[in-house]
């Protein structure tokens, strides 16, 4: 009887396509929206993910997230280096600075100062130039989206922007900076341009700031847990020290607590999920109800409850799989096509696909069970009703 | 006559059935005694709402009576578990409905093969049997048509093929000709009578259609939930 169940489904191609389309569209909402949310949230700690070499972050106790800045004394670097279990520790500057462009306009950007000798914390992917080119006098590296976006050159108001590149000049606080490279970096939450330079040059460019040490990046010795070393650093210096994972968590919690992002976007995601499941469930339920009479006929002819239940579940599994497959595929294609633009980038993770796919299958099966109950309870005698 | 033929196909005594409860309670059967012999064509006639459909539903084991006893081929249906009753129905009873009830999304051959598939026949065998059965109702070659491509009379012939394909011992029909014109109705009746009664099977037909009364071996008249009379029908002479 299972092939009969499938034939019943395919026998009306219009209805079959309708069900598949509805489930596919619901799947799009259920995949794309959470993907956006997950990505926006993970951007809150993008900087921490990007900087993979150190496993400990040390900062002022007032700092709540990686986007915060409360610089500490330079001398703290030496204290951290002295703590037992620390393999190495380097300075890291991160702060908002006003940059003046060649045409005289100015923009806010994020200036990042890297340890002069190791350049730890620098961008992983260089598109033009090399990271070591930061040793060229006045050298800075700009990020790709900044280079094309707010740092781009405009000859006039209406002229199309030309991305800045190697050889172009920027100015921070009347101090000249020479672009020596373009790098790719994860867009930050606020999506400002990012400008990398050395720690000591950052001090000259960011003239106005007295203290410059935003973070100390450290590495735990082999065999030492970064968390344990971080606790020791806190105890000895009075500063806050986190392992990278702890800092990601803390940054995420801070953003979630102090902005409405989770409430606002989470609400949209939730609505999408509810609408998606409701539509999917309803559509399949209606399909079974349309066939109620024929299930009654099968029952009169001696089909067991198990057979009927199996037929309905098979139909549900099939439309669920095919519909979700099309929906997730379309979403992936859409994300691929729009990847690389400014703003949050939705990413499909297997956890997300598993979650959304699980939800779609769950709701289709639930609808199948509810409609199957109706079939099983059906008075067989209805088959004689005209 | 073989001894098994002495066992009636259907034997009902004191069968009552009411629908609903309280104010909406409707008594459909008020103590029905009726017997259908093997190889007999019994017609059940009576005014609308008198309980005919209810009675054949009980007789075919798709509706439980409230009281009284109903046996099919000596088997008291109430003594079977629901699953056993379903299986019993699947093997021994065929159904023909007023509204045909062909599954619109299945081909003619698939529709006919349903009782065989439900009884566990392999697909190939079921299809071959269905095609043979389709020829018996005069529709050879239409196995891959969809029901909607057939006329009403042709659809009812497909439904008859479906009711007979698994060689049931009892076939119950509710108004099998009321959706058909006169000539088509007679052709369908000829077919039913030939295929069912000729094979020694029993046939119970509920009908309003006086134009087909002459096919009956026995006419059972019903009124207000009771059997008023059971008389030999016009066809008795031919068959006894
Ligand atoms: N499912 C049901 N729920 C409630 N009452 C019902 C139900 N089915 C039938 N009845 C009532 O039971 C009585 C007998 O109905 P039944 O369908 O058996 O009559 P019938 O003789 O087949 O009528 P008809 O010739 O119009 O088909 C009627 O009064 C009807 O309204
Ligand atoms: Mg009726």
Residues in chain B: 240
On whether both A269 and A229 belong to a single domain, the answer is: no
On whether both A323 and A175 belong to a single domain, the answer is: no
Indicate if ligand 1 lies below 6 Å from the C-beta of B207: no
SS3 assignment for B151-220: CHHHHHHHHHHHHHCCCCCEEEEECCCCCCCHHHHHHHHHHHHHHHHCCCCEEEEECCCHHHHHHCCEEE
- Asked whether residue B3 is domain-assigned, the answer is no
On whether both A90 and A124 belong to a single domain, the answer is: yes
Minimal-distance CA residue to ligand 1 atom 4: B19
Token pair listed for A8: 């019943």
How many domains does one find in chain B? Answer: 1
- Asked whether residue B1 is domain-assigned, the answer is no
Q: How far is CA B174 from CA A108, A149, A166, A225, B180, in A?
A: 84, 78, 89, 81, 13
Strand order in the sheet with B41-45: B93-96, B170-174, B202-206, B41-45, B218-223, B226-232
CA atoms within 13 A on the CB side of A106: 10
- Whether A298 sits inside 8 A of B118 (CB atoms) is yes
Q: How far is CA A230 from CA A15, A53, A327, in A?
A: 61, 15, 45
| Rounded Cα–Cα distance for residues A326 and B10 (Å) | 54
Q: Which domain holds residue A321?
A: 2-43+261-383
Model confidence over A192-234: pLDDT tens digits? 888 999 999 998 888 767 788 999 999 999 988 999 999 999 9
On whether both A289 and A354 belong to a single domain, the answer is: yes
- Indicate the helix (H) or strand (E) that contains A175: strand A175-184
C-beta separation of A48 from A248 below 8 A: yes
Residue environment code for B148-162, b if the CB has 16+ CB neighbours within 10 A, otherwise e: eebeebbbbbbbbbb
- Asked whether residue A155 is domain-assigned, the answer is yes
CATH for B106: 3.40.50.300
C-beta separation of B204 from B216 below 8 A: no
Token pair listed for A118: 């190791």
Rounded to the nearest integer, the mean pLDDT of chain B is 89
On whether both A231 and A354 belong to a single domain, the answer is: no
Which ligand 1 atom is nearest residue B206's CA? 22
B53 touches chain A (CB under 8 A): yes
Q: Which residues is A153 bridged to in the sheet?
A: A162
| Rounded Cα–Cα distance for residues B92 and B77 (Å) | 13
Closest partner residue to A12 (CB to CB) among B91, B105, B175 is: B105
On whether both A102 and A229 belong to a single domain, the answer is: yes
Model confidence over B8-28: pLDDT tens digits? 999 999 999 999 888 889 999
Beta-carbon contacts of A24 under 8 Å, excluding residues fewer than 6 positions away, are A323, A324, A326, A327, A330
Model confidence over B220-230: pLDDT tens digits? 999 999 999 99
Q: Which residues is A143 bridged to in the sheet?
A: A183
Q: Is the pLDDT of residue B206 over 80?
A: yes
- Asked whether residue A256 is domain-assigned, the answer is no
pLDDT of residue A88: 92
CB count within 10 Å of CB A306 equals: 10
C-beta separation of B189 from B12 below 8 A: no
Please name the residue of chain A whose CA is at the shortest distance from the CA of residue B65. Answer: A381
Q: Which domain holds residue B79?
A: 10-235
Q: How far is CA B167 from CA A194, B36, B94, B115, B130, in A?
A: 83, 18, 8, 10, 12
On whether both A186 and A111 belong to a single domain, the answer is: yes
On whether both A38 and A76 belong to a single domain, the answer is: no
| C-alpha B29, offset from chain centre | 19
On whether both A277 and A329 belong to a single domain, the answer is: yes
| Rounded Cα–Cα distance for residues A307 and A227 (Å) | 57
C-beta separation of A237 from A75 below 8 A: no
- Asked whether residue B45 is domain-assigned, the answer is yes
Local confidence band at B4 (pLDDT 50, 70, 90 cut-offs): low
- Asked whether residue B4 is domain-assigned, the answer is no
Most confident of A36-45, B177-186, B206-215: B206-215
- pLDDT per residue rounded down to tens, chain A (386 residues): 889 999 998 888 888 898 898 889 888 888 887 887 777 777 777 788 888 889 999 999 988 888 778 889 888 999 999 999 999 999 999 888 889 888 788 888 889 999 999 999 888 888 999 999 999 999 999 998 888 888 888 777 777 888 888 999 899 988 899 999 999 876 665 678 889 999 999 988 887 677 889 999 999 999 889 999 999 999 999 999 999 989 988 888 888 888 777 777 778 878 877 887 788 788 888 888 888 889 989 999 999 999 999 999 999 899 999 999 999 999 888 887 776 555 555 567 788 888 888 888 888 888 888 888 888 887 777 777 76
Torsional sign, CA A113, A117, A123, A129? positive
Place of tokens 């006003």: A98
pLDDT of residue A347: 66
Closest partner residue to A303 (CB to CB) among B57, B118, B175 is: B118
pLDDT of residue B236: 66
Model confidence over B137-154: pLDDT tens digits? 889 999 999 999 999 889
- Whether B95 sits inside 8 A of A12 (CB atoms) is no
- Asked whether residue A56 is domain-assigned, the answer is no
- Whether B62 sits inside 8 A of A380 (CB atoms) is yes
| Rounded Cα–Cα distance for residues A53 and A69 (Å) | 21
- Asked whether residue B207 is domain-assigned, the answer is yes
- Asked whether residue A52 is domain-assigned, the answer is no
- Asked whether residue B2 is domain-assigned, the answer is no
Closest CA to A311 of B114, B36, B35: B114
Diameter of chain B measured on Cα atoms: 54
Range list of β-strands (E), A8-159: 56-59, 86-100, 106-114, 125-128, 139-143
Instruction: Please tell me the distance between residue B172's alpha carbon and the centre of ligand 2 in angstroms.
Output: 12
**Residue among B53, B66, B227 whose CB has most ligand 1 atoms within 8 A, to mutate:** B53
- Whether A305 sits inside 8 A of B83 (CB atoms) is yes
> Cβ-count burial of A50 within 10 angstroms (0-12 exposed, 13-18 middle, 19+ buried)?
middle
How many domains does one find in chain A? Answer: 2
pLDDT of residue B239: 44
- Asked whether residue B72 is domain-assigned, the answer is yes
On whether both A231 and A275 belong to a single domain, the answer is: no
On whether both A291 and A184 belong to a single domain, the answer is: no
On whether both A183 and A317 belong to a single domain, the answer is: no
| Rounded Cα–Cα distance for residues A129 and A184 (Å) | 12
- Asked whether residue B240 is domain-assigned, the answer is no
Closest CA to A97 of A151, A45, A133: A151
């Amino acid at each position: 009887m299972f092939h009969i169940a499938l034939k019943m489904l395919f026998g009306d191609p219009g209805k079959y396509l309708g069900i598949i389309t509805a489930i596919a569209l619901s799947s799009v909402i259920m995949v794309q929206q959470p993907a956006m949310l997950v990505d926006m949230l993970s951007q809150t700690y993008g900087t921490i993910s990007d900087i993979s070499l150190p496993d400990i972050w040390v900062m002022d106790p007032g700092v709540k997230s990686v986007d915060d800045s409360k610089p500490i004394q330079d001398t703290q670097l030496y204290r951290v280096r002295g703590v037992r279990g620390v393999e190495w520790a380097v300075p890291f500057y991160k702060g908002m600075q006003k940059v003046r462009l060649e045409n005289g306009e100015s923009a806010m950007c994020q200036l990042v100062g890297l340890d002069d000798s190791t350049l730890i914390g620098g961008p992983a992917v260089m598109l033009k130039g090399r990271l070591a080119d930061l040793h060229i006098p006045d050298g800075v590296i700009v990020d790709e989206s900044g280079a094309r976006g707010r740092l781009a050159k405009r000859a006039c108001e209406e002229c199309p922007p030309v991305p800045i590149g190697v050889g172009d000049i920027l100015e921070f606080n009347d101090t000249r900076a020479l672009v020596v490279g373009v790098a790719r970096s994860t867009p930050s939450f606020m999506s400002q341009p990012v400008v990398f330079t050395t720690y000591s040059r950052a001090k000259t460019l960011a003239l106005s700031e007295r203290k410059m040490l935003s973070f100390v990046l450290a590495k735990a010795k082999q065999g030492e847990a970064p968390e344990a070393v971080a606790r020791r650093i806190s105890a000895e210096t009075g500063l806050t020290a986190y392992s990278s994972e702890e800092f990601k968590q803390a940054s995420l919690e801070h953003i979630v607590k102090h902005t409405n992002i989770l409430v606002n976007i989470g609400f949209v995601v939730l609505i999408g999920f509810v609408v998606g499941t409701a539509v999917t469930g309803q559509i399949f339920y209606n399909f079974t109800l349309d066939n109620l009479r024929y299930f009654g006929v099968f029952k009169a002819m001696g089909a067991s409850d198990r057979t009927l239940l199996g037929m309905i579940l098979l139909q549900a599994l099939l439309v669920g799989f095919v519909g979700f497959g099309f929906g997730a595929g379309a979403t992936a294609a859409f994300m691929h096509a729009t990847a690389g633009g400014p703003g949050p980038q939705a990413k499909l993770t297997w956890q997300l696909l598993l979650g959304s796919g699980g939800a779609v299958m769950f709701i289709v099966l639930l609808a199948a069970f509810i409609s199957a109950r109706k079939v099983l309870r059906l008075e067989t005698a209805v088959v004689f009703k005209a | 006559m073989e001894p098994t033929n002495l066992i009636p196909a259907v034997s009902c005594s004191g069968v009552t059935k009411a629908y609903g409860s309280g104010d909406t309670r409707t008594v459909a059967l008020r103590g029905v005694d009726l017997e259908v012999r093997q190889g007999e064509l019994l017609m059940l006639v009576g005014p609308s709402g008198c309980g005919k459909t209810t009675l054949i539903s009980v007789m075919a084991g798709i509706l439980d009576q409230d009281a009284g006893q109903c046996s099919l081929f000596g088997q008291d249906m109430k003594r079977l578990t629901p699953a056993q009753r379903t299986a019993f129905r699947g093997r021994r009873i065929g159904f023909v409905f007023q509204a045909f009830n062909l599954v619109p999304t299945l081909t003619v051959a698939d529709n006919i093969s349903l009782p065989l598939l439900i009884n566990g026949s392999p697909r190939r065998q079921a299809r071959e049997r269905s095609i043979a059965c389709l020829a018996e109702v005069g529709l050879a070659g239409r196995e891959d048509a969809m029901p909607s491509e057939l006329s009403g009379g042709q659809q009812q012939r497909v439904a008859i093929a479906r009711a007979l394909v698994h060689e049931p011992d009892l076939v119950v029909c509710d108004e099998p000709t009321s959706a058909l014109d006169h000539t088509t109705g007679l052709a369908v009746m000829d077919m039913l009578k030939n295929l069912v009664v000729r094979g020694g099977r029993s046939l119970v037909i509920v009908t309003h259609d006086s134009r087909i009364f002459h096919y009956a071996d026995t006419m059972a008249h019903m009124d207000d939930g009771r059997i008023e009379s059971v008389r030999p029908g016009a066809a008795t002479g031919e068959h006894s």
